[in-house]
Amino acid sequence: MNSSELVKRAIHFQNPDRIPIRHMLMDAALYEHGQKLPDLYKKVKGDFGDPAPVKIPKPAPKHISPDGNYRRIEKDCWGVEWEYIKFGIAGHPLSRPLDNIGNLKTYKPPEPPRSSGKAFADKKTVVKKNKETGYCLEGWINLFELMHAVRNFENVLMDVLDNTREINRLADMIVEYQEGMIQYFIALGVDGIMLADDWGSQNSLLIGRETWLEFFKPRYEKLIKPVKSAGIDVFFHSCGHILSLLDDLADLGVDVIWPQYASNDPELLAKKARERKMCVELHMDRQTLMTFGVPEEIDAAVKKARGIFGNNNGGLIYHAEIDNGFSFENIKALLNAFKKYS
């Protein structure tokens, strides 16, 4: 059974030979550990295509101040100015184009990539090659997170609660852009498309579920429908406590949920996912276990998670996302445990 078939069988509860593994090589961790990190990844095979040849990233000298601190400021295609103060770590908005909602009258969102031309043909060749060695997952399709990137977070929450004309227009503008991105990924012939919005705090949803159902669910439905029609798997990443949304995400057609392990009761998460035939992409707790734990604790935690989430007919994917701040011994312990308990 090759990796592509293995992942598909795991997603659809069709008796995979083992639990598939997805690797993510994060810039901050690569910078911290150097070449030994990708070398380690090669020893524990992933099932989502072989990582491209890795060049260890380094901060540009112009972003290092005389006191040795890192600072980079960059404006994205949505007009958001981001400040990065640690190399390889996500930044925070310095300025947003729609903090003054009146600017929406003249605001122009970016254009999604075209499904034609040389750039598209080159990307399609890469996708085809990736599918020869594993399952091809693309995308990071978000709605809520783009809304509070271009406009202050608290104002977005209040606008949604008030159901203002402007916030509906902004949400629909983003959905239209993401529909173009989805059509681009469908044209590439990928196996799966990732949607991603963080909906939870550590112990509850960020907004009331009824508001989510009224404002966001119909828009997600609009995004997910063409993916399902194309026979492509839907992944959904959401950090925080999201147990109360699992049924709604399953109703939308989400095939794989990628939650934050430490913010959700594992037993309840596993029970609900199995009931709804929704595969769980599982990465172990990074907040405490991977940062402050020891290899023996990591091995025991993966073994326990395997017992909670695993069953012989599928429904589980191991996710090896490595951040900075993890000791190399802990990283080795995680990958070895994934292999050991697969």
Go through the domains of the chain in sequence order and give each one's CATH number.
3-60+108-340 (3.20.20.210)
Element (H, E) at 191: none
Cα(206)–Cα(198) distance, integer angstroms: 9
pLDDT band at 51 (very low <50, low <70, confident <90, very high): low
- Sheet containing 137-141: give its strands across: 21-25, 316-322, 279-282, 256-259, 233-238, 192-196, 137-141
Band of residue 114 on the pLDDT scale cut at 50, 70, 90: very high
Q: What is the mean pLDDT of residues 246-251?
A: 98
130-158 pLDDT per residue, tens: 898 899 999 999 999 999 999 999 999 99
* Rounded Cα–Cα distance for residues 148 and 155 (Å): 8
Structure tokens at 97: 């184009």
Q: Which residue has the tokens 């310095």?
A: 94
Percent of the chain with pLDDT over 70: 99
Structure tokens given for 246: 């699992």
pLDDT band at 240; cut points 50, 70, 90 = very high
| Residue 70: pLDDT band with limits 50, 70, 90 | very high
- Taking all residues of the chain, what is their mean pLDDT, rounded to a whole number? 95
* pLDDT of the residue at 150: 98
Asked if residue 49 has pLDDT above 90, the reply is no
Distance (Å) of CA 153 to CA 142, 157, 241: 15, 6, 18
CA angle 7-275-143, nearest 5°? 65
For the cut 80, the answer to whether the pLDDT of residue 271 exceeds it is: yes
pLDDT surpassing 80 at residue 36: yes
pLDDT at 232 > cutoff 60: yes
Distance CA 99, CA 89 (A): 24
Instruction: State both tokens at 253.
Output: 């057609």
Task: Answer whether residue 52 shows pLDDT above 60.
Answer: no
CA atoms within 13 A on the CB side of 125: 6
**For position 50, what pLDDT does the model report?**
61
Residue 317: partners with Cβ closer than 8 Å, 6 or more residues away: 7, 10, 11, 19, 20, 21, 22, 256, 279, 280, 281, 282
Q: Is the pLDDT of residue 252 over 60?
A: yes
In this predicted structure, which of 22-26, 77-81, 105-109 has the lowest mean pLDDT? 22-26
Tell which residue, 219, 139, 118, has the closest CA to residue 185.
139
Cα 114 to Cα 79: distance, rounded to the nearest angstrom: 20
The arithmetic mean of pLDDT across residues 303-315, rounded, is 90
Closest CA to 308 of 268, 263, 249, 252: 268
pLDDT for residue 238 is more than 90: yes
Q: How confident is the model at residue 53 (pLDDT cuts 50, 70, 90)?
A: low
Residue spans of beta strands (DSSP E) within 144-271: 192-196, 233-238, 256-259
